[in-house]
Amino acid sequence: MPHLVLASGSRWRRQLLDRLGLPYAWQSPDIDETPHPGESPGALVHRLALAKASRVAQAFPHHLIIGSDQVALFDGEILGKPADLAAARAQLARFSGNRVRFLTGLALVDTRRGEHRVCHETYDVVFRALSEAEIANYVAREQPLESAGSFRMEGLGITLFERLEGDDPNTLIGLPLIRLCALLREAGMDPLGDRASPD
């Protein structure tokens, strides 16, 4: 059994983790993602990333468990997934010419040692000025109802942007690989080492 476990059912996060070439298992955690009253976006993604990893950790007592959670922010408001295509078009119209910030929480739980590390990365998307027709065509083609902010970086979403600002573009997709590699090294698993599993 792999010594690395991804606490996520997201195929996008699995595709990102695949890039490291490490063997891993994955399991989708079932947690309540409702924000607590007065909880800051940073505290929220820290709590949820750790909660996801901790939920899965119960079944993997000798592993490194990766948890991740992401929120999108616009004008201080946490953005949810659009309820329908009309809501997606309205959300994108608000973003036209503006900046949307993504916070992605990352947790690594070491069940062998009873330790965990938690952090988050920030990534900004600056939208170009979008016409109603461009928004309508994008939403019709991409159907982004499962994406907070009504767009997907993995697909046609790239056509909506003027620029991207941040340290690691993988953060926008949902798994900050640069920071993850650093956490794995701290925990004794070097992605470029001779062995793909920790001692």
Residue 195 belongs to some domain of the structure: no
Q: Are 6 and 13 in contact (CB under 8 A)?
A: yes
Residues with a catalytic annotation lie at: 69
Rounded Cα gap, residues 102 and 93, in angstroms: 18
**In the chain, how many domains are there?**
1
Concatenate the DSSP letters of all residues of 20-74 into one string. TT---EE-------PPPTT--HHHHHHHHHHHHHHHHHTT-TTSEEEEEEEEEEE
Tokens standing for residue 41: 């976006």
At what angle are helices 132-142 and 85-95 packed, to 10 degrees? 130
Strands 161-166, 25-26: parallel, antiparallel or unpaired by DSSP? unpaired
Residue 199 belongs to some domain of the structure: no
The CATH number that applies at residue 41 is: 3.90.950.10
Residue 115 belongs to some domain of the structure: yes
Residue 28 belongs to some domain of the structure: yes
Chain centre distance of CA 106 = 8
Q: Which domain holds residue 119?
A: 4-186
Q: What is the pLDDT along the chain (199 residues), one digit of tens a residue?
A: 359 999 998 888 999 999 999 999 999 998 988 899 999 999 999 999 999 999 999 899 999 999 999 988 999 889 878 899 999 999 999 999 999 999 999 999 999 999 999 999 999 999 999 999 999 999 999 999 888 788 887 789 999 999 999 999 999 888 999 999 999 999 999 999 865 444 4
The sign of the CA dihedral 39, 71, 27, 175 is: negative
Residue 132 belongs to some domain of the structure: yes
